[in-house]
Amino acid sequence: MSISKQEFSRRRKALMAMMEPNSIAILPSASEQSRSRDIEYPFRQDNDFYYLTGFDEPDAVLVLLPEREHGEYVLFCREKDKEKEIWDGYRAGPEGACIDFGADDAFPIDDIDEILPGLIEGRERVYYAMGKDPDFDRHLMEWVNRIRAKVRAGAIPPGEFLDLDHFLHDMRLYKSAEEIRLMETAADISARAHQKAMETCAPGRYEYELEAEIKYACALEGGRHAAYNSIVGGGANACILHYVENNQKLKNGDLVLIDAGCEYEFYASDITRTFPVNGKFSREQKAIYNLVLKAQEAAIEKVVPGNHWNEPHDASVRVIVEGLIELGLLKGTPETLIEKDAYKAFYMHRIGHWLGMDVHDVGDYKVGDEWRVLEPGMVMTVEPGIYIATDNNTVESKWRGIGVRIEDDVVITKEGCRVLTDGAPKTVDEIEAVMAG
Ligand code: GLY
Ligand code: MN
Ligand code: MN
């Protein structure tokens, strides 16, 4: 299962329909990145490039030329090369770019210096993501300067550069039915992997063993690549928000927080579950856990079309502040504690982020001065947490070192929202039942 050719074509047409008359859009692919000496990182295509092409090779450039007689969609790519393909794998080549990827016209990437200036010439506006790839920025300026050098011979250089991201990222924010199906698959795979981690957890195992369980379970189902670096934090390590060392032994009586999710066909999932290493929550752990869960439920209730981006966050803050007062961890009235940001000692991040091809996906959170209004097709995470630092002397020692986050992926629908990641056990009873085997 992957995005259909029709959808890639529809995306290119939608982008071209937004472009001003007589303009050109230029978008380079990702390049291979060296890890060490002659070993490369696994290649990962640029999401904007893939979103418009479905083309998964490095050293390629997409060019869109609305209304061009000889074809609007031009792709530069590597030529076929028998020798190189034996060593490094299949290449579509310009012919394959047309036949298999729907390009109207395709050229070898080595000819781009000769061909692209001619395609730019006469177009008044260039849509391009300046500053993302400094090498490519320089090439583009060279091509434009080459046209500028010929103005006395009648050449017309472009006079305006527009930010391609602005248009493309707004498109990416609204997920189609095909995209949501892939995100459901990513979410289901990761949810089962989290359950596997719960089932196989035991005191004495190491954090990296649970990381391995998650990665293995995801890879077995086609989610070979993690959407981000997995966080597996036992005990107080859960209070380090971006803890990725994952090298400590899990202790009887501690909680473990796992924030991990796979990517499936270029779409991310992002799940956090927190559970007791020995399968049974202590009284304090349960109190904090249920408070985070209540905050998450309150936030998810606010994920409905017409509400603005910040409403779920505000709802989670309110529940957490009231709950922390009730448990004696904060003192004062909710209003003052919220106004003074006192809760930020326990809950220092925001409720979530857009989710899509990128785990922290593209799309604006504000339009002008106003929070963005939630609309069907948007996908976001809802991930409140409470983290009680080991050196927080304002609370009784029994609370210190407890860190809990609960994170789900939620798609906004016409009626409200749907949680994509509800396959991962979440209530205290569900978790304890799964861990009891
Ligand atoms: N795992 C990254 C995040 O939750 O934002
Ligand atoms: Mn997240
Ligand atoms: Mn996460």
| Mean pLDDT along residues 192-208 | 98
Distance 359 CA to ligand 1 centre (A): 7
Phi-psi region of 154 (alpha: psi -120 to 50; beta: other; left: phi over 0): left
What are the CB-based long-range contacts (under 8 Å, 24+) for 115-120? Answer: 115/76, 116/26, 116/61, 116/63, 116/76, 116/143, 117/143, 117/144, 117/146, 117/147, 119/24, 119/63, 119/65, 119/74, 120/24, 120/26, 120/144, 120/147, 120/157, 120/158
417 and 271 assigned to the same domain:
yes
383 is catalytic: yes
194 is catalytic: no
Q: Measured on CA atoms in the order 284, 233, 243, 195, is the torsion positive or negative?
A: negative
397 and 331 assigned to the same domain:
yes
**What's the number of domains the chain is made of?**
2
| Mean pLDDT along residues 304-332 | 98
Checking if the pLDDT of 412 tops 90, the result is yes
- Mutation probe of ligand 1 site: the residue of 190, 211, 228 with most atoms within 8 A of C-beta: 228
128 is catalytic: no
What confidence score (pLDDT) does residue 367 get? 95
Confidence of residue 22 (pLDDT cuts 50, 70, 90): very high
Checking if the pLDDT of 140 tops 90, the result is yes
Residue 198 DSSP SS3: helix
212 and 346 assigned to the same domain:
yes
What confidence score (pLDDT) does residue 389 get? 97
What confidence score (pLDDT) does residue 1 get? 81
Which residue in the block uniquely carries the two structure tokens 């002397």? 393
159 and 243 assigned to the same domain:
no
Residue span of the structural domain in which 148 resides: 5-172
Q: What is the pLDDT of residues 9-19, one digit of tens each?
A: 999 999 999 99
The residue contributing the CA closest to ligand 1 atom 3 is 270
Give the amino acid at 303: V
Confidence of residue 197 (pLDDT cuts 50, 70, 90): very high
Q: What is the pLDDT of residues 237-274, one digit of tens each?
A: 999 999 999 999 999 999 999 999 999 999 999 999 99
Show the tokens assigned to 164.
């391609």
179 and 323 assigned to the same domain:
yes
Distances (CA, A) of 433 to 200, 347, 406, 425, 429: 13, 28, 18, 9, 6
124 and 202 assigned to the same domain:
no
168 and 179 assigned to the same domain:
no
Q: Which atom of ligand 1 is nearest to the CA of 259?
A: 1
What does pLDDT average to over the chain? 97
Give the amino acid at 88: D
Across the strands, what pairs with 24? 126
225 and 122 assigned to the same domain:
no
209 and 163 assigned to the same domain:
no
CATH number at residue 82: 3.40.350.10
Q: What is the pLDDT of residues 325-376, one digit of tens each?
A: 999 999 999 999 999 999 999 999 999 999 999 999 999 999 999 999 999 9
73 and 216 assigned to the same domain:
no
179 and 101 assigned to the same domain:
no
